[in-house]
Amino acid sequence: MPCFISSGEALGCSDSIGGIKKVYIVGGSATAEVTGYTYNAAGAVTGATSTSGTTLYGFELKRGVSSLTQTLNKSYENGTVFFTQELTISLYKYDTDKRDKLKVLSQNDTLQIVAIDQNDVQYLIGQVNFSFLSAGDATSGQALGDKNGFSLTFQAQEAEPARVITGALATVFAGATISG
């Protein structure tokens, strides 16, 4: 594959906004998993096959507090390149249900996550090498107006930046259940 681009990019319009508004974490039973993906000509994910019992669990997020950062990591000397995908989300109100989910998520090193940004672009995080909960905290806050809840950071290291998913998740993940 040649290492040359075939076009440039025009400046374009200032018509996008920042932030992540919702994430779906792929889960289900111990044997539930996504087993394969299909792509369009541009490389976007258009379909996914999964085993029985696979569920995408949705987490709604407040605007302005969650983000996806993809960092290029290159060693010129070694000829290697990979991308660190880092998703940071905030969940509010410390309760037993969220605490229990946090505990289970922290033990799972094979997560795949769909993050939807404020522009309705859907990103697939941890597609090949999976993602994991790499850091987090739970806080009660101190003052009455302080945050009471969780800050979680999920991380993946992949050979490519996160792929975009085109189409409704219920169509793309037709064999899975969408919850939330």
Domain presence at residue 144:
yes
According to DSSP, residue 32 is labeled: -
Per-run averaged pLDDT (10 residues), the chain, 180 residues: 80 91 86 87 94 91 96 96 98 94 92 96 96 95 96 97 96 91
* Position 15 in a domain: no
Residue 6 in domain: no
**Closest among 84, 83, 85, 87 to 67, alpha carbons compared:** 87
- Total domain count for the chain? 1
Residue 148 in tokens: 């009471």
For residue 83, the enclosing domain spans 20-179
Predicted pLDDT of residue 4: 81
Question: What is the model's pLDDT at position 1?
Answer: 58
Residue 159 lies in a domain: yes
The verdict on residue 5 lying in a domain is: no
pTM above 0.75, yes or no: yes
Task: Say what the pLDDT of residue 129 is.
Answer: 95
Q: How far apart are CA 58 and CA 73, in angstroms?
A: 30
Determine the pLDDT at residue 175: 87
Assess if residue 122 is contained within a domain.
yes
Q: Residue 33 has what pLDDT? A: 82
8 belongs to a structural domain:
no
Question: Is residue 51 a part of any domain in this protein?
Answer: yes
Report whether 99 contacts 33 (CB < 8 A).
no
CA atoms within 13 A on the CB side of 87: 31
Residue 102's Cβ-side half-sphere holds a number of Cα atoms within 13 Å equal to 20
